Each structure stands twice: as C-alpha cells, then as structure tokens.
Chains A and B, each alone.
Chain A
Amino acid sequence: MTRGRARAARWVRLGLLVLFVVVFLIPVYVLLVTSFKPLSEADPGQAWNLPKVWTVEAWRVAWEKLEPGILNSFLLAIPGSLLSAALGSMNGYVLSKWRFPGADVVFTLFLFGMFIPYQGVMIPLVQLMVNLGDWFNLDLYGGIPGLTLAHVVYGIPICTLIFRNYYVTIPDELIEASRVDGAGMLRTFWSIVLPVSGPAFAVVIIWQFTSMWNDFLFAVFLTGPTSWPATVMLNNIAGAQTVPYSQQMAAAILASIPTMVVYVLLGRFFMRGLMAGALKG
C-alpha cells in the first residue's frame, strides 16, 4: 500500500517536472521557430507553427547587423575576465593566507561593493572617465577600454570572494612550510597556491565573462556607437519597429550563443559561481 503510494508520488513529481520543462522551453521554441521563418509566414495566424519553408535569411541579416557588437563584446569580455581573475586571485590569497591587520574590515567593505546598485555610481562614473581620459590622455569614455576598466573594478568584490573562499581550503601548514623554507609572499603564491587554483580561475573567468557579455547598464552609459557591445546593438535592432521578428529572434540567439556554449560546456563551474554569489561558505 505505502509502496504503491510512494511510486505514485514519484510519478506525479516526475510529471510535474516534465511539465515545467515544457513551460521553461517555450521561449526557446519561439526563438528558434521564428528565426527560421521567411517574411511571408510572419502573420499572427501562423505564430506558433513550424516554418513551412525553412530559411536562414533572417540569420544572415541579423549577423550582418550584429557582427561589430559581437566583436566588441569579445574584446571586452576576454581581457576583462582575465584581468578580473588575476586581481581576484591576488586579493583572495592575501585575504586568506597572508593577512594584514584589518583584513576582515577590508573584506567586508569589498563585499558591500558587490551589492550596490550600479545606478548609484553611474553619473559620477561617466564624469570620472572623462576626467581620467583628459588627465592621462586616454580614450576612456565612450570606448571599450573604459568599459573594461569599469567591469574589472566592480568585479573585484565577487572575484575576491570566490578566490578567498577557495583558498581558505588550502591547509595553513603548506603556506607555513613554504615560509619556513624562506619563500616570500610572491614566491609562495607562485609555487604553492597558483598551481592548485585551476577550479577557482575557471569559476571566476566564467562568471566575469558571462556578466560582462550580458551587461547592458554600463554599456549604455559608457560606450558610444562604434564600441557598443552585442547587448546594446541587439536592443537597438529589436527596438526598431521596422525590423521583422525573424531577424530580432535570430539576433537574440546570436548574441546568446557564446554564453550558452560556456554554460553547456562548463556548467559545473558556472553553478559554483552562482553559489558564491549567494554568499555561502
């Protein structure tokens, strides 16, 4: 009796989970199906149908429009995530293994930076970028370098957090032994800590790559038309009333492919970044 009920409960749970999978995948179905439709099948009556004629025309046009943005996004997200990881690993190492007086206060003040709404710094940030550009004769405001700088700086808290929590698990004895052998801070970092940092680097690089790729707020405030990343270009394409749905949907998929590839191949590390974002551990 109870065995039968337990089995029934399991089937009910499985059924509900499958139902939710269907609901979760509705937007994906719409994106794919619409992007392969020719313009002639764009009327509301066929909205949910599969295309009668499959065509990649919309994809071709979308790619043409979006290509510069995708390139800009790569120019932003690849160097940016690497820089973030470098800074984060140094900070995390010091704050866990080579601590100075007040390290905990510094760490807490860093953490707060993770939660501030970036709107709160945006107006002066634009001004600061203009000023820094003038002082150092750099092209910071309006370009990719300035946007990268902003992402790296505001990424410091989360990157530091992830590395710190990872390095805490390295036994102190290892660091101490290295010290006794006469190795300094950097030497210990280089030969003891870095070689075991692989997973933390993967988590941070994936996390930062994804958030830089997906960011819209910093990009609209800090970049001009020639350096717009994919999100801003996509929003401009989709915001124009004249662009057919098929092209909008194809552009949305194109702009999401890099992060989806990362998610599918390295989802495990992506999950760990998410959990770190929850301030756990």
Chain B
Amino acid sequence: MTTRVRRWLPGLLLVSPSIVLIAVFVYGLLGWNFKVAMTDKHNEIAEIPGNFVGLENFVSIWSEERWGLSVRHSIIFTAVFVGGALVLGWFLAFLMEKGIRGEGGFRAIYLFPMAISFIATGVVWRWLMNSATGERAVGLNRLFGYLGMDFLQWQWFRDPDWGMAAMAVPAVWQMSGYIMALFLAGFRGVPEELREAARVDGCNEWQVYRRVILPMLRPVTLSALIILGHISLKVFDLVVAVSGKQIITDVPATFMWTAVFDAHDPAKGATIAAYIVLSVVIFIVPYLIWNARKGNR
C-alpha cells in the first residue's frame, strides 16, 4: 500500500501547483463572479459589500434595451460567422483535398490571418468597411464602384439592422483558414480504399462524397462548430477594434466592458459575464463529456 502511494504521490505533488491555480483562478473566480452577480453592488466606489439579491439582476437586465440589442447582435454575428467560416473553410478544403500543386503555399496564405491579432486586422477592416458611399467612398465601397457594382455599396457595420453581419466578415476572413485545415485533415483521414470500394460498387463521385466522405467528416464538423461557437459568443477584440464602444455594434462582451469601466457597476458587469459563461457552458459541457467518453472507448 505505502509503496503504491509512494509511486504516485510525487506526481500529484508536481501537478499540485497547477491544480491549486486552476481551482482558484478558474473555478473559484467563476463562483465569485456569480456571487457578485447576485448582489446589489451597483456602485464600485462605495465601500459596501453589496446585499444578496438572488437572481434579480439576471431578470432585470432583460428590461434594458441595450441588453436586448447586444443579444440580438450576438445572434446575428454568430449565425453569419459560424455559417460563413464553416462553409468557406469546408469549400477551401474541398478544393484542395485531392492534392494540388502548391498546396503548401495556398494553406500558408489562407491560414496566416490566424497569427495576427483581431486588433491589428480590425484597423484595416474598419477602413475596408467604411460606410461612406458614392464620391466619398473608400475601402470596399470604392472597390465596388470601380468594378461597376455600386449596388453592393452599403453601410457595413453601421447598418442599423444587419450591421453585425458585416462585423462577421473580418472574423470569417480570420478563421476560415483554420477551419480549412481541420477539414483537410478530416478529408485526408478517409482511407483511399473506402472510396475505391464505393466506386467499385458503382457509386459515382458525388455518391462517394455523400455516402462515404461526408459521414466521416461529422466529428471534424462538430469540433469546428464548437470552436467557432465559443469564439463567437465571447467576441470582443474585433468589435472594439472595428467600431469601438458604439451601441450599434454592441455585443454582451463590450456591454460588460462599459458596465465595468464607464458605469462602474460591478454587479451588472458580473451578470453579463455570467450570461456569457452560461451561453458557452450549455454546449461545451456536453461536448467535453462526449469527448471524454469517446476517449475511454
């Protein structure tokens, strides 16, 4: 017994600093945040701990117009970003999967935006998506003008209804190379014999694709969805870089930022943060459990 303990104890000791750090910084602080969210500490400066008010903040925030807007924006952004990056990433991988000359070069170009910060790419995208049209147009609106496609000129992220769809464009540009790499690995994971067997059985190329390859891409698609979804729900840098603190492009993360730094309202900031966490947890936890089960099998 003691020899067995002596066998694993050093390992536990070596990992224990990290266990403590994760316990405190991840789980402890998440709990603390929920605690703050359930108080009436709406004034950062006053030295009061705040009284427990239960879920009052979680309910009352829905009556704020700005919160409703930020949720709506987040949904539009998520739909366009996740859909766009998934389709474009898949399409690029589809074009390359059979092998093409210069593949390494293509991959490097599609992937390089991943290495740059949203803040830096936001600078150029704000210019590209400038809302001026006609004579004053710059950026993409100007380019559309040159190409004789004036009808494509629009307000981009300043469009009051669908501006967030424009905000997703730089995000798609930045992330679809990554999705392409995931799908390419997925395509290459399908053994050639399987395709060959299907062809021998009389399938044409389209049927091989539908019946053999697509089902085998499902796990990759799920991973891609999880990655894109959790990036999307917490998007912050990109919105700040492209449009700053404008309400027209407000998302929960920027709303929280202004609640903390401009309104000095920790309880409200914590409530928004808690909602962001919950929205991610809802689909991450099942995924992690699914993944752990798959690993055990």
Residue of B nearest to A277 (CB): B227
Residue of A nearest to B235 (CB): A117
Would A216 and B236 count as touching, CB distance under 8 A? yes
List A contacts of B25 (CB < 8 A).
Answer: 121, 125, 128, 150, 153-154
Would A116 and B109 count as touching, CB distance under 8 A? no
B interface residue count range (under 10 / 10 to 19 / 20 to 34 / 35 or more) = 35 or more
Q: Which of B9, B115, B273 contacts A263 (CB 8 A)?
A: B115
Q: Does A256 contact B (CB under 8 A)?
A: yes
List A contacts of B177 (CB < 8 A).
Answer: 24
Question: Which B residues, 128 to 166, have Cβ-Cβ distances below 8 Å to chain A?
Answer: 128, 132, 135-139, 142-143, 146
Would B22 and A34 count as touching, CB distance under 8 A? no
Would A248 and B273 count as touching, CB distance under 8 A? no
* Cross-chain pair count, CB within 8 angstroms: 257
List A contacts of B132 (CB < 8 A).
Answer: 44
Q: Does B80 contact A (CB under 8 A)?
A: no
Would B8 and A100 count as touching, CB distance under 8 A? yes
Q: Does A190 contact B (CB under 8 A)?
A: no
Would A252 and B124 count as touching, CB distance under 8 A? yes
Question: Which A residues, 198 to 234, have Cβ-Cβ distances below 8 Å to chain B?
Answer: 210, 213-217, 220-221, 231, 234
Chain A 109-138, CB-CB to B under 8 Å as 1, else 0, gives 111110111111111110110000000000
The B contact surface, by secondary structure, is helix
Q: Does B32 contact A (CB under 8 A)?
A: yes
Residue of A nearest to B278 (CB): A120
In angstroms, Cα B29 to Cα A153, docked, is 12
List A contacts of B95 (CB < 8 A).
Answer: 13, 16-17
Given A48-B143, A100-B8, A116-B280: A214 and B117 interface contact (C-beta under 8 Å): yes
List A contacts of B112 (CB < 8 A).
Answer: 260, 263
In angstroms, Cα B142 to Cα A275, docked, is 38
Question: Which A residues, 1 to 52, have Cβ-Cβ distances below 8 Å to chain B?
Answer: 10, 13-14, 16-17, 20-21, 24-27, 30-31, 34, 44, 47-48
Residue of B nearest to A20 (CB): B92
In angstroms, Cα B256 to Cα A221, docked, is 11
List B contacts of A252 (CB < 8 A).
Answer: 119-121, 123-124
In angstroms, Cα B11 to Cα A103, docked, is 10
Q: Which of B27, B127, B181, B230 contacts A30 (CB 8 A)?
A: B127
List A contacts of B123 (CB < 8 A).
Answer: 31, 234, 238, 248-249, 251-252
Residue of B nearest to A90 (CB): B14
Chain A 81-119, CB-CB to B under 8 Å as 1, else 0, gives 000000100110111001111011010111111011111
Q: Does A71 contact B (CB under 8 A)?
A: no
Q: Does A53 contact B (CB under 8 A)?
A: no
Would A99 and B128 count as touching, CB distance under 8 A? no
List A contacts of B276 (CB < 8 A).
Answer: 117, 119-120
Would A113 and B119 count as touching, CB distance under 8 A? no
Residue numbers of B with Cβ under 8 A of A are: 8-12, 14-15, 17-19, 21-22, 24-27, 29-30, 32-33, 36, 92, 95-96, 98, 100-101, 106, 108-128, 132, 135-139, 142-143, 146, 173, 177-178, 181-182, 185, 223-224, 226-227, 230, 233-234, 236-237, 240-241, 244, 252-253, 256-257, 260, 266, 269-270, 272-274, 276-277, 280-281, 284-285, 288, 291-292
